[in-house]
Structure formats: structure tokens, C-alpha cells
């Protein structure tokens, strides 16, 4: 289940969006921006898959500042929701790294479609150590891999291969390229080492939902991680 952090001070809008999100099986954390719970603290602790962010928040908070802080930490998808729909303000949001921009009033079904589109193309680093591909999470600080709540045990080389592919989603790498990048240019084994490692990875990641992604074989070329 994907997590959405909803930062919105208008209760009717927040209630409507939360209802639509939960109907589509998203887990929602709502922050009104009133200050009782710091947005960035909640972001860091909860690690959402996407943020819906209102620009006009109470207590002199600025949504652009929050977006800027999120971007300093990583590339979590952010969709801006705001009544300020002028072109210069939209451009400012995109300049700061917003993935999409929806002006109020809006159709909640359009918001759902925009969320799905952004998440389909999103693979992002939560911070400098953590990569999330749907429910698959790779944590470089602990060299751990999880799928949902399941801890995945990998051989060191398999972990290195998975990390490299995850850092370059949708890119196809030939076996020789993977050997050089993961095994090193001095490795004297054959390219079957890559095939064997990929086979082990697929078995280890058997509980990674196919609707989220897969390690794909590109016939005659090599391997790629695809995220859907």
C-alpha cells in the first residue's frame, strides 16, 4: 500500500481527498499545517511515497519552502495543490522540483489520475542512503533490502547488482557493463556470473509485486529494472 502525505489546511478539501485516496487503497497521513505536527518531521518519520502539498498554509508557512526542504533530502514525488494558479507561480513550483501542479478548484478524480501517473514514473531516493521502488526498499546505510515488512537476505554481490540496477531504472545494461560496474574490470569470470546473480535476485524478490516492477531480460541486450 502506497503512502501519501497530504499537507492541506482546508478541512473540506482534505476530507474529500483523503476519502478518494483511501478508496483507491492509499494510506493517508494528513497534516493541516497548523503547527501541531511539523511537516518535515512527519515526512522524515513516515517516509511517504508521494506528497500532496498546498502552497498556502497557515502560520506564515510557505509550501515552496517545504518543497525545497524535501528536495534537499531526496526526490520523493510532490504534487502541488493551490489556489494560486498563475503561470509564474506554477513555474516557481516546477523550478523547485515539483512533479506536477494542480490549481484549485479541481476534480478529485483528476487528482487521482495525476497521482497514479506520477507514481508510475517515480523511483526515488528518500535520502542519500535509501532507494524505494514501491514496496522494495534498499538501505545503503545498513546494506539491507526489504519488501514490505519482509527482510530479504542477499549475497554481497547480488546486493551490489540490485543496488546498481535500482539506481538506474529503465536503463538496459549489457552483461559486460554489469561485470565492469559490479564485479570490477579485473574480474576473470565469465558473463554467466551475471545471469546466475540475476536468477538468485529474482528468487529472493519473489514477493515484490509484479504490478510494481521487475528485473527484466532484454533479449539480445541485457538486464534492466522496470518500475510500473
Give tens-digit pLDDT for 58-110: 766 678 888 888 877 777 889 988 876 555 655 666 666 788 888 888 999 99
> Contact, 191 vs 221, CB < 8 A?
no
Residue 133 has pLDDT above 70, yes or no: yes
Q: How confident is the model at residue 152 (pLDDT cuts 50, 70, 90)?
A: very high
The closest alpha carbon to 17, from 82, 107, 77, belongs to 107
What does each C-alpha distance from 46 to 29, 95, 110, 121 come to in angstroms? 9, 26, 25, 21
pLDDT in tens, 175-185: 999 999 899 87
Cα–Cα distance, 3 to 192 (Å, whole number): 39
Cα–Cα distance, 26 to 3 (Å, whole number): 6
pLDDT in tens, 28-63: 999 987 766 788 989 988 889 899 998 888 766 678
Q: Residue 62, Cβ neighbours under 10 Å: how many?
A: 11
> Contact, 172 vs 223, CB < 8 A?
yes
CA dihedral 216, 188, 156, 176 (to 10 degrees): -20
pLDDT value for 36: 62
- Write down the mean pLDDT value for the chain: 85
Which domains are present in the chain?
3-122 (3.40.50.2300), 130-227 (1.10.10.10)
As beta bridge partners, residue 151 has 146
Cα–Cα distance, 151 to 215 (Å, whole number): 19
pLDDT value for 50: 92
Amino acid at each position: 500500500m502506497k503512502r501519501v502525505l497530504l499537507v492541506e489546511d482546508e478541512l473540506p478539501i482534505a476530507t474529500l481527498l483523503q476519502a478518494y485516496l483511501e478508496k483507491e487503497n492509499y494510506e493517508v497521513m494528513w497534516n493541516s499545517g497548523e503547527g501541531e505536527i511539523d511537516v518535515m518531521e512527519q515526512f522524515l518519520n513516515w517516509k511517504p511515497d508521494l506528497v500532496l502539498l498546498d502552497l498556502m498554509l497557515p502560520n506564515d508557512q510557505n509550501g515552496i519552502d517545504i518543497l525545497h526542504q524535501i528536495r534537499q533530502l531526496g526526490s520523493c514525488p510532490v504534487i502541488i495543490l493551490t489556489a494560486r494558479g498563475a503561470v509564474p507561480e506554477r513555474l516557481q513550483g516546477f523550478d523547485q522540483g515539483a512533479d506536477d501542479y494542480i490549481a484549485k478548484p479541481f476534480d478529485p478524480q483528476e487528482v487521482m489520475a495525476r497521482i497514479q501517473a506520477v507514481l508510475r514514473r517515480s523511483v526515488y531516493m528518500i535520502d542519500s542512503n535509501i532507494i524505494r521502488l514501491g514496496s522494495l526498499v534498499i538501505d545503503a546505510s545498513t546494506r539491507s533490502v526489504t519488501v514490505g515488512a519482509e527482510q530479504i537476505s542477499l549475497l554481497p554481490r547480488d546486493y551490489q547488482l540490485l543496488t546498481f540496477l535500482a539506481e538506474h531504472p529503465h536503463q538496459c545494461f549489457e552483461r559486460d557493463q554489469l561485470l565492469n560496474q559490479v564485479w570490477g574490470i579485473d574480474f576473470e569470470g565469465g558473463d554467466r556470473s551475471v545471469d546466475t546473480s540475476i536468477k538468485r535476485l529474482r528468487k529472493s524478490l519473489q514477493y515484490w509485486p509484479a504490478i510494481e516492477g521487475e528485473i527484466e531480460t532484454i533479449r539480445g541486450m541485457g538486464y534492466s529494472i522496470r518500475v510500473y
